[in-house]
Amino acid sequence: MIEYFKYLVFPGIVLLILSSLFVLWDKKLIYRNSIHLFLSAYSLLFLAFIVLLWVEMGRAPLRTLGETRLWYAFFIPLMTLVLYYRGKWRWVVPYGSLMAIVFLIINLVKPENFSKELMPALQSVWFAPHVIVYIFSYAIFGMVTLFSIHQLFYVKVKKWDEWSSASDTMIYIGFALLTLGLLFGAIWAKQAWGHYWTWDPKEVWALITWMIYLLYMHYRLAFKPEYSLAAKILIIAFILLLLCWFGIHYMPIASQSVHTYGG
């Protein structure tokens, strides 16, 4: 099934580009509806592919970095669709589409090993919910980062309160999912290795990521008018998140981690 991925990339990118172009004329209902249609078609296309891949492999396609990138490329346009539909933020469509296209191209250029094999530690009921919840929270944080970048460079200061409030709402949802992912992971670790927490390098970076978003929420409560620094904290937090997700695999400490399952 994975060999068909390359045939999905082109129509997927076309749908994302079309939705981005139609933003130029989205004051007309027909173009707004077209954007909804293109993003919905993309989401359904990749959801169907993930489900079929799951069935063919006999396991959740969540083991390798390539598999998690596939989920991210699915979640980002889905988040884009929701945000555009609910908030009518026009700019979020090209930004979200670009992010999804980057992940699609990375998976096309650097395909991972989509093996059916699953090591014993991953054969747990907690495997799929732990990773899916994490990737979904990463998608939310990715969209929040786009909000922050756009806010810093393109939004008038008088509108920052509205934008920061929107970011806060997404952060609360993303943080709740991130916390849930940590809890699922702890329960899974207890079953697999006998300990809830082992200070594994991946666990340490996950905790750092969790703490930086917690710091952001406390900062917003204590210094609500300081919008500029709050947006910068979110950008830094997402960089740390990417290090936790991808960077750990290329660090010398990766060999000490039980969370690097290879490509």
Tokens matching residue 146 = 């786009």
Taking each helix axis from N to C end, the angle separating 92-109 and 127-154, rounded to the nearest 10 degrees, works out to 130
How many angstroms separate the CA atoms of 114 and 134, rounded? 20
> What percentage of the chain exceeds 90 in pLDDT?
45
Query: Which of 42, 45, 103, 97 is CA-nearest to residue 72?
Result: 103
**106 vs 253: which has the higher pLDDT:** 106
Question: What band does 212 get if pLDDT is binned at 50, 70 and 90?
Answer: very high
Q: Are 179 and 214 in contact (CB under 8 A)?
A: no
How many angstroms separate the CA atoms of 45 and 164, rounded? 33
Question: What band does 216 get if pLDDT is binned at 50, 70 and 90?
Answer: very high
Task: Give the mean model confidence (pLDDT) for residues 214-238.
Answer: 87
Residue 26 DSSP label = T
Neighbours of 150 (CB within 10 A): 16
How many angstroms separate the CA atoms of 141 and 92, rounded? 14
> How confident is the prediction for the chain on average, in pLDDT?
86
Reply yes or no on whether the pLDDT at 36 is more than 80: yes
**46 vs 119: which has the higher pLDDT:** 46
The dihedral through the CA atoms of 134, 138, 144, 148 has a sign that is positive
> What percentage of the chain exceeds 70 in pLDDT?
90
How many angstroms separate the CA atoms of 183 and 14, rounded? 38
Tokens matching residue 75 = 């979640």
**196 vs 258: which has the higher pLDDT:** 196
> Lowest-pLDDT range, 70-74, 114-118, 133-137, 200-204?
114-118
Tokens matching residue 34 = 């077209």
Question: What band does 263 get if pLDDT is binned at 50, 70 and 90?
Answer: very low
The residue type at 2: I
- At 159 the pLDDT is 76
User: What pLDDT, in 10s, does the model give residues 41-71?
Assistant: 999 999 999 999 999 888 888 888 889 999 9
User: What pLDDT, in 10s, does the model give residues 148-205?
Assistant: 898 888 877 777 777 788 888 999 999 999 999 999 989 988 887 788 888 888 888 8
**2 vs 129: which has the higher pLDDT:** 129
Q: Are 174 and 207 in contact (CB under 8 A)?
A: no
Neighbours of 184 (CB within 10 A): 21
DSSP codes joined into one string, 35-88: HHHHHHHHHHHHHHHHHHHHHHHTS-S-SSHHHHHHHHHHHHHHHHHHHHHHH-
How many angstroms separate the CA atoms of 142 and 171, rounded? 10
pTM: 0.89
Task: Give the mean model confidence (pLDDT) for residues 92-114.
Answer: 88
How many angstroms separate the CA atoms of 54 and 61, rounded? 6
- At 165 the pLDDT is 83
Query: Which of 170, 176, 8 is CA-nearest to residue 105?
Result: 8
Terminal Cα distance for the chain, rounded: 17
